[in-house]
């Protein structure tokens, strides 16, 4: 997803989600976009400490601890299988719209089961909503790989075929 100030302006921010991103995360994202509020990212302003604190407050409130490792600030769930990663170096180059935020679950942020990435100017209120969903709605649940029972039910469903209208072809003579 990408946001533009006007149909012909430069991109303000971009957010991507992997195909395995769980429904509660996607639902939170779509609800936030549908409400139309939270466009609080100033394109010319760099990401500051206040924005990072606001975006990750639900994680701190849920007892998640953060660590600083070089250019990365990481918040991990108590079990270590989900988290949020902030790239402070990339945040200082906001015109590039590179992934500054990574919300993930799985073995780690470099090998996630699923992930959502966001550029520097993604609204902090959207990031807060996604952090809240990660900490309280999604938790560390991993997407189900689809059991054989589910596959069977999908495969045994009758195919949907469009009805073909039996209308004569229009005559080209006058």
Q: What is the pLDDT of residues 32-78, one digit of tens each?
A: 888 876 555 556 567 888 989 999 999 999 999 999 999 999 999 99
Average pLDDT score over residue span 93-98: 73
Which residues lie across from 86 on neighbouring strands? 73, 101
pLDDT of res. 39: 59
pLDDT of res. 37: 60
pLDDT of res. 149: 38
* Surface-to-core class of residue 57, CB atoms within 10 Å of its CB (0-12 exposed, 13-18 middle, 19+ buried): middle
3-class secondary structure, 163: coil
Listed in sequence order, the residues at least 6 apart from 90 whose beta carbon sits closer than 8 Å to its beta carbon are 71, 96, 98, 99, 100, 120
* 0.95 surpassed by pTM: no
pLDDT of res. 144: 45
DSSP states of 36-64 as a string? T------TTSPP-HHHHHHHHHHHHHTT-
Average pLDDT score over residue span 114-129: 91
Under 8 Å between Cβ of 123 and 41: yes
Q: What is the pLDDT of residues 17-33, one digit of tens each?
A: 999 999 999 999 998 88
Under 8 Å between Cβ of 121 and 2: no
Q: What is the pLDDT of residues 141-167, one digit of tens each?
A: 444 444 433 333 323 333 444 444 444
pLDDT of res. 154: 29
To which H or E segment does residue 75 belong? strand 72-76
Residue, of 170 and 67, whose pLDDT is higher: 67
Under 8 Å between Cβ of 26 and 137: no
């Amino acid at each position: 997803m990408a946001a533009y100030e006007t149909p012909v302006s430069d991109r303000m921010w971009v957010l991507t989600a992997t195909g395995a991103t769980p429904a509660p995360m996607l639902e939170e994202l779509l609800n936030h976009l549908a409400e139309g509020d939270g466009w609080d990212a100033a394109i010319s302003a760099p990401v500051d400490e206040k924005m990072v604190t606001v975006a990750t407050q639900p994680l701190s409130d849920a007892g998640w601890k953060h660590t600083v490792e070089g250019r990365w600030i990481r918040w991990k769930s108590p079990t270590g299988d989900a988290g949020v990663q902030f790239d402070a170096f990339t945040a200082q180059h906001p015109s590039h719209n590179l992934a500054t935020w990574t919300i993930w679950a799985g073995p780690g942020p470099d090998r996630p089961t699923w992930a959502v990435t966001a550029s520097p100017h993604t609204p902090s209120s959207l990031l807060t909503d996604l952090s809240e969903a990660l900490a309280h709605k999604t938790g560390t649940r991993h997407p189900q790989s689809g059991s054989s029972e589910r596959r069977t039910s999908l495969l045994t469903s009758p195919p949907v075929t469009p009805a073909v209208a039996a209308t004569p072809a229009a005559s080209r003579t006058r």
